[in-house]
Structure 1
Amino acid sequence: MLLGLALPTYGPDADPNPLIRFGRAAEEMGYDSVWTGDRVLAPVQPSAPYPSADGVMPREFERHLDPLTALTFVAAHTERIRLGTSTLNGLWQPALMLARSLTTLDHLSHGRLDVGLGLGWMPDEYTALGVPWARRGDRLEETLTVLQKYWTQDQLQHEGALFSIPKSVVGLKPFQRPGPPILLAAFSGAGLRRVGRRADGWLPVAMPLPAVMDSWAIAVQAAEEAGRDPSVLSMALRVNAHLTDMKARAEDVPFAGTLQQYIDYARSAAEAGVHELFFDFGLTSLTLDERLELAETIIKGVRTG
């Protein structure tokens, strides 16, 4: 199983030097990937609750770097480690602009990009950006089509319900061919089936492993029904760590737990068939030094037992 870390792209450490230090340290420790999230607003009174137990959006989200700019910056200061978005809200800009940005990053990083796309949870951001909240699934479907055409057609042309692109020459292509892997964040049946039909993989958030694998089975079945080889699909499991001093109840893991419980969870995930798992310590009260020390303990614990 591949292991990754979320970069400090939000909160107090969202600055150039911490990004460089964290990205280089992750690479030197042997991590396979680093990841960014996406948040464009922190409303004082959000119109929808944050998807957590208390429904309160973390204060750390009030300071949030642009995810693709941050990954490009980290790419320039690393050599091997893969660069992922979990998740990039891909509907907040026209599909053509998204295609150019992703292609540029994959090209400049020599093919290290993993594109994780999501739909977000807060209507306020869509309103502020002038993007309809309704029919998000349809917008994502057409966005995926435009990305595929941009990456594979020398002369791009598209006529859809949302986007109209005249026949145009596209000379810039991604380093990875036919394009960087696209993973989708999804929890509904329709979303999981879209993973199987159209994507290269799935971006779940950590939950009890039987629930992860049950949802994964829906995507796999959808791939088979669409005539695709499900073995090409992969999942990258995000773990938002909430560390406790005392051992948490088994049923509370992975929503909370000690460091050892998170190491055990990661090892169990590997045994269950999870392809990649990455930790986000951004919602802990740890300093950057403490986060890096934790990262080193985790990779040793997961890979050496």
Structure 2
Amino acid sequence: MDVGVVYFFTDQGPDPIEFGQAAEGYGFESLFVPEHTHFPVSRKTDYPIPYGGPELPGFYLRTYDQIVTMSMIAAHTQTIMLGTGICLLAQHDPIAKAKQIATLDHLSGGRVICGVGMGWNVEEAEAHGVVWKQRYSTVRDKLKVMQALWTQEEASYDGQRASLAPSWAWPKPAQPNGPRTYLGGAGPTTMRHAAEWADAWYVVPSAEDPTLSKTVPEFRRVVEESGRDPESVGIAVASAPPDPAALESYRELGIERAVLWVDPADDPGEGMRNLETVSKVLAQIS
């Protein structure tokens, strides 16, 4: 099982380049970067309880652009994989996003993981023109457009929410089949969609099943019911606790990657210390 970290980079926290180099030096296999474009002041949508709600943490309001941040880190590191954790794909033009990610993967030597998700803030999504009740099919079809552009010489896709007329686009990603795609989130609807069309489910463990001992078998059953081989669809854990016992349980369940949560900080030194603290778990699980 690979072990990475996720961090909300802001204009008040540690420098992303320094953080990425330190994460690579500690031995983390991957670094995931979240995304939010803005937060409407209305705040009609409560911050989800599973994420620590209902009060919205201040770091959400100050996040750097996801792709720019990943590009800066990629240019100053050598081996660490870089994940969109996650990209709020419904809010983006898929042709432009495919170009960004293909370019980053090409220039970084194949180090991109493409995590996508629905988001939770209705007002943020609607400001981008997203129809909230159509968000699952929108993300699916936009991702299919991106994958066509990554893998087909003459790319095309005919979908319900997004389509692509036969088109040429280069560069292609360095990874032959394009970046591995994760669908992030929790709950039965996200589970079903991940089972049907993602490379892996990027699941946030619930309070009822923190070790995923019940969730993983259920997901594999849903994958099989969707007509896919359960062994062909991976599972990765989002915002995993830096707890050796939990990580060992994930490993035993066949989890492909655990991405550890590092507490954001509005002080650069504190953010780096938080990373160092989390990194100590690596020696306990290796």
What TM-score, normalized to structure 1?
0.83
**Following TM superposition, by how much is the alpha carbon of 1:11 offset from its aligned partner in structure 2, in angstroms?**
6.2
Match of 1:234 in 2: 234
* Preserved CA contact (<8 Å) 2:85 2:116: yes
* Preserved CA contact (<8 Å) 2:7 2:264: no
CA 134–20 in structure 1, closer or farther in 2 if over 3 Å, else same = same
Larger relative contact order (Cα-Cα within 8 Å, sequence gap ≥ 6): 2
CA distance in 2, matches of 1:195, 1:266: 22
**Structure 1: 5+ residue runs without aligned partners?**
241-253
Match of 1:47 in 2: 44
Match of 2:135 in 1: 136
Match of 2:277 in 1: 294
Which amino acid is 1:49 matched to? D
CA 277–56 in structure 1, closer or farther in 2 if over 3 Å, else same = same
CA distance in 2, matches of 1:103, 1:67: 15
Match of 2:244 in 1: 263
1:19-40: CA deviations, max 9, x gaps?
Answer: 1111111111111100101111
Match of 1:12 in 2: 12
CA distance in 2, matches of 1:119, 1:210: 22
Which one has the largest radius of gyration?
1
1:27 counterpart = 2:24: yes
- Count matched residues: 281
Which amino acid is 1:127 matched to? E
1:93 counterpart = 2:92: yes
Say which SS state the counterpart of residue 155 (structure 2) adopts.
Answer: strand
Say which SS state the counterpart of residue 295 (structure 1) adopts.
Answer: helix
**Following TM superposition, by how much is the alpha carbon of 1:116 offset from its aligned partner in structure 2, in angstroms?**
0.8
**Following TM superposition, by how much is the alpha carbon of 1:164 offset from its aligned partner in structure 2, in angstroms?**
4.0
Counterpart mapping for 1:1-305 below 5 A: 1-10=1-10, 12-13=12-13, 18-52=15-49, 53-207=52-206, 209=209, 212-239=212-239, 262-283=243-264, 287-303=270-286
1:236-290: CA deviations, max 9, x gaps?
Answer: 21236xxxxxxxxxxxxx6xxxx7xx33322333233322212222346770331
- More deviation, 145-154/269-278: 269-278
Name the Cα RMSD after superposition: 2.3
Which amino acid is 1:78 matched to? T
What TM-score, normalized to structure 2?
0.88
- More deviation, 282-291/62-71: 282-291
* Preserved CA contact (<8 Å) 1:7 1:36: yes
